């Protein structure tokens, strides 16, 4: 009898085996925690599972304790210093006032839902009247001011749309520039000149061109949406383009030689060889692009009054109410947190697609 | 929050009491976007939306705040906006081709009065010794710009320009500020076809700043004073950064202010929609003024929401509820500071249009002398009392307005404003624009043009 009879295992050994399995799982999950920015969860779980508490305690302190302490220190510093700066809109708000406005914005969103219900009641009345006069009923979207959440959603949609167009343009161009030194020489000066241009300079041009070209007023997209999205595209194109061409041009020479020996067609070469090995750099480019796009979008929305978080900030600045500064700060934190989440999202996608070391 | 809930209930009742019997117009377009600037005189738009007057007409309206007057005007011209709260000078200037050219009309005038001139605390300190005091120590009103003359001289001696802000080259505020300065003997400067800065031969240099940025720009020291609509004068008082010296009501009793502007093309293609819009706006204006301004506090709550004006309710309330605070604590009653319906405020009078045109000519925005007939023709092509009266007739038939409240028989000219109602004591009669221009001491006269840096002819 070579196999171990399960019954013969002592309860202690069984527990040990379970523990090992548990640790394997925790270690496997650790990769995902890292991606999601929750790396502090690993030592916490390990400690909970009974691993050397002292060693894990140090890890927890480093990964969880220090950041929390830093945040507390930041909040304290902010809370003490802010009230000492007097502006024409009152003192700079501290963390408490900002939190208060975050809650107020949430309540405001609920009020807006109520007013939407009122709107629908009125439309129903209108339709009764229309019916009495023998007309067709009408269905129309709510026309009231968007809530804070709706504005966040608009911004996210816009940035992804602009980013998508940018990627569709940048990746093929980048592959071209990476594969052919001639194409690279042609594209390089254009990239160098346009890369540093600010969104604020693009916006007037984009606005004029969109108004001239996109004449319909009831098309699929609103003009303001296109203006912001195209501005995002123009600014977020470059990191992807540069990184893709860099990734493509730095493929292993041996691989290129193999492709020559096998007489691969260009298409096969690109899909089987170039893309897989350039993927990590392409993703790095995409991550940078999305980050740039998000920053640019807020500026574009502020300047052009296009719906979204940027318009929210500008409106509050113009309102000049005593709550304006605190509300702008709520927006600043929202923008920061969403930017962080977008980056994490891209990082997660990158880890799914690439197997080599993460950059 | 409580006020808002109460208001919600009020809006509900308003919606329910709306006339179910009234015949709906056959609308050519029922989804509309209107632009506005964050100023209390956009109130008729907010009220027509919040009280459901637009929906009563079957109109689905979205209201969108605009960054500045230029963006707003371009929006109306390129069709992104179907209509907008406009400076009275904008449709006129666009139609005669000054600035951006487009035929814009106005079937509805939005209000009377509502502006003020504010100077920085520093300038006020320097002006104060030149202003006589009343027994209680407060300054005698109205304050003439002559009190500012020594201040401007002092700036000139120091080699510093005296800068003031207004909101747009063809804004009421530009003309009012110029009117006040000229009435006090100061030259506000001329425009010419090749110099559109408006600072030719100026003692006081005027430049454009969007309304909501006025207090911040004043605080930064870029300008030493400004002329703007509410709540941006009261904001300066509340923040302690400036002192309003005069309101436009004290300069010219019941002067015409903003208008509602749409392109002529829109009005021609959508006649019923246009009428429906005007109906809703007239109802809003009636509501704002009815029962001796009884609804004004409710209107203040509406305007203080972030999507409309967004300033603190107490700041907006000052001018909207009949008084104005000059210095902190110096509150004076000006019951007609903002008039939305009384005195036929919403009727688009040709004589109002002509006053704006005379000011454009006076300061050189209209480069050449025009005959009286030209003024009448421009006024008739831009101001459209015919559309207004059709809408008013429908409202009277629906039982939503009183027949007696509208000037059915008017030929479009207000009775001449008597000399006593205007700060410099010069009467205004819209029927004689050229004679009026001749009677103003500072400004271009018949035959004069601005060439280079000087007035010729």
| CB-CB neighbors (< 8 A) of A319 in chain B | 38, 212, 306, 309-311
Sheet with B83-86, side-by-side order of all strands: B60-65, B31-36, B83-86, B259-263, B104-109
Centre a 10 Å sphere on the Cβ of residue B420 and count the other Cβ atoms it contains: 8
- Partner-chain residue, chosen from B8, B15, B20, that has the shortest CB–CB distance to A122: B15
CB contact under 8 A, A315 and B309: no
Closest chain A residue by Cα to residue B19: A129
Closest chain B residue by Cα to residue A130: B24
Q: How far apart are CA B141 and CA B123, in angstroms?
A: 17
pLDDT < 70 positions in chain B: 1-21
Residue A112 contacts B where some CB pair is shorter than 8 Å: no
| CB-CB neighbors (< 8 A) of B1 in chain A | 107
Residue A315 contacts B where some CB pair is shorter than 8 Å: yes
**pLDDT for position A351:** 79
B-contacting residues of A 39-78, CB under 8 Å? Answer: none
Q: Which residue has the tokens 């990746």?
A: A171
**pLDDT for position B233:** 92
Closest chain B residue by Cα to residue A129: B20
Please give the average per-residue pLDDT across A1-27, as a whole number. Answer: 73
Summarize pLDDT for B258-312 with one digit per residue, the tens. Answer: 999 999 999 999 999 999 999 999 999 999 999 989 999 999 999 999 889 888 8
CB contact under 8 A, B219 and A132: no
How far is CA A213 from each of CA A147, A168, A229, A244, B447, rounded to the nearest angstrom?
31, 21, 15, 31, 44
Summarize pLDDT for A170-192 with one digit per residue, the tens. Answer: 999 998 888 888 988 998 899 88
CB contact under 8 A, A217 and B61: no
Closest chain A residue by Cα to residue B305: A319
CB contact under 8 A, B60 and A315: no
My answer on whether omega of the bond before B88 falls inside 30° of 0, hence cis, is no
Please give the average per-residue pLDDT across A224-228, as a whole number. Answer: 85
Select the residue from A203, A320, A324 to test the B interface by mutation, using most B Cβ atoms within 10 A. A320
Q: Determine the distance in angstroms separating the CA of B20 from the nearest CA of chain A, rounded to an integer.
A: 6
Q: Rounded to two decimals, what is the model's pTM?
A: 0.82
Please give the average per-residue pLDDT across A279-299, as a whole number. Answer: 90
- A1 vs B301, more confident: B301
CB contact under 8 A, B65 and A135: no
Interface predicted TM-score (ipTM): 0.77
Q: How far apart are CA B437 and CA B179, in angstroms?
A: 12
| CB-CB neighbors (< 8 A) of A125 in chain B | 15-16, 18, 20
| CB-CB neighbors (< 8 A) of B11 in chain A | 118
Q: How far apart are CA B275 and CA A18, in angstroms?
A: 79
Summarize pLDDT for A40-77 with one digit per residue, the tens. Answer: 777 778 777 777 777 777 878 888 888 899 999 999 99
């Amino acid at each position: 009898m070579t196999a171990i009879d399960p019954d013969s295992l002592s309860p202690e050994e069984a527990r040990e085996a379970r523990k090992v399995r548990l640790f394997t799982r925790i270690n496997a999950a650790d990769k995902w925690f890292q991606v999601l920015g929750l790396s502090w969860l690993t030592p916490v779980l390990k400690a909970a599972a009974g691993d050397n508490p002292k060693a894990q305690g140090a890890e927890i302190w480093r990964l969880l304790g220090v950041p929390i302490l830093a945040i507390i220190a930041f909040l304290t510093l902010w809370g003490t210093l802010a009230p000492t700066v007097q502006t024409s809109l009152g003192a700079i708000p501290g963390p408490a006032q900002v939190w208060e406005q975050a809650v107020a914005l949430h309540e405001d969103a609920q009020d807006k839902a109520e007013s939407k219900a009122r709107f629908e009641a009125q439309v129903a009345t209108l339709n009764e009247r229309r019916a009495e006069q023998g007309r067709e009923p009408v269905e129309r979207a709510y026309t009231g001011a968007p809530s804070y959440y709706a504005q966040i959603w608009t911004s996210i949609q816009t940035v992804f749309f602009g980013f998508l167009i940018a990627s569709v343009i940048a990746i093929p161009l980048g592959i071209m520039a990476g594969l052919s030194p001639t194409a690279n020489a042609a594209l390089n000066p254009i990239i160098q000149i346009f890369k540093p241009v600010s969104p604020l300079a693009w916006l007037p041009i984009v606005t004029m061109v969109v108004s001239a070209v996109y004449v319909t007023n009831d098309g699929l997209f609103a003009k303001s949406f296109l203006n912001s999205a195209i501005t995002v595209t123009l600014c977020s194109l470059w990191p992807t383009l540069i990184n893709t061409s860099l990734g493509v041009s730095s493929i292993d020479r041996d691989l290129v030689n193999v492709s020559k020996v096998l007489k691969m067609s260009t298409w096969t070469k690109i899909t089987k060889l170039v893309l897989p090995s350039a993927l990590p750099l392409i993703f790095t480019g995409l991550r940078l692009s999305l980050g740039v796009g998000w920053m640019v979008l807020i500026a574009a929305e502020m300047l052009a009054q296009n719906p979204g978080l940027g318009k929210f900030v500008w409106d509050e600045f113009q309102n000049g109410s005593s709550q304006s500064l605190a509300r702008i700060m709520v927006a600043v934190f929202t923008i920061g947190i969403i930017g962080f989440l977008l980056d994490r999202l891209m990082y997660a996608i990158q880890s799914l697609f690439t197997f080599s070391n993460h950059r | 929050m409580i006020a808002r809930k109460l208001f919600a209930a009020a809006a509900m009742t308003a919606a329910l009491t709306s006339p179910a019997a009234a015949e709906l117009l056959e609308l050519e377009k029922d989804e509309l976007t209107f632009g506005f600037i964050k100023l209390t005189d956009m109130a008729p738009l907010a009220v027509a939306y919040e009280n459901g007057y637009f929906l009563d007409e079957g109109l689905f309206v979205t209201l969108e705040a605009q960054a500045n007057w230029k963006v707003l005007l371009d929006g109306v011209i390129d069709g992104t906006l179907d209509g907008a709260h406009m400076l009275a000078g904008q449709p006129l200037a666009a139609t005669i081709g000054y600035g951006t050219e487009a035929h814009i009309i106005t079937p509805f005038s939005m209000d009377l009065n509502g502006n003020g001139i504010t100077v920085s605390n520093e300038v006020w300190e320097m002006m104060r010794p030149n202003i006589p005091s009343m027994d209680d120590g407060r300054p005698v009103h109205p304050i003439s710009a002559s009190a500012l003359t020594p201040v401007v001289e002092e700036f000139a001696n120091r080699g510093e320009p005296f800068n003031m802000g207004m909101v747009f080259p063809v804004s009421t505020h530009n003309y009012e500020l110029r009117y006040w300065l000229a009435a006090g003997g100061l030259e506000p400067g001329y425009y010419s076809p090749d110099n559109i800065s408006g600072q030719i031969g100026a003692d006081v240099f005027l430049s454009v700043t969007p309304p909501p940025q006025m207090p911040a720009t004043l605080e930064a020291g870029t300008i030493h004073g400004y002329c703007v609509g509410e709540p941006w004068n009261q904001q300066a008082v509340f923040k302690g950064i400036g002192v309003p010296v005069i309101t436009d009501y004290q300069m010219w009793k019941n002067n015409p202010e903003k208008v509602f502007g749409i392109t002529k093309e829109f009005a021609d293609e959508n006649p019923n929609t246009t009428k429906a819009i005007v109906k809703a706006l007239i109802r809003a204006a009636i509501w704002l003024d009815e029962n001796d301004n009884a609804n004004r506090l409710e209107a203040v709550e509406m305007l203080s929401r972030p999507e409309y004006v967004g300033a603190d309710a107490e700041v907006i309330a000052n001018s909207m509820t009949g008084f104005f605070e000059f210095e902190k604590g110096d509150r004076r009653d000006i019951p007609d500071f903002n008039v939305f319906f009384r005195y036929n405020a919403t009727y688009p009078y040709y004589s109002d249009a002509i006053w704006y045109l005379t000011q454009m000519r006076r300061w050189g925005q209209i480069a050449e002398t025009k005959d009286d007939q030209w003024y009448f023709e421009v006024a008739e092509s831009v101001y459209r009392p015919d559309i207004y009266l059709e809408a008013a007739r429908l409202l009277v038939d629906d039982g939503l307005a009183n027949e007696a409240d509208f000037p059915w028989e008017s030929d479009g000219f207000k009775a001449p404003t008597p000399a006593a109602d205007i700060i410099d004591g010069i009467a205004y009669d819209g029927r004689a624009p050229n004679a009026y221009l001749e009677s103003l001491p500072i400004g271009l006269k018949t035959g004069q043009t601005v060439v280079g840096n000087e007035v010729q002819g």
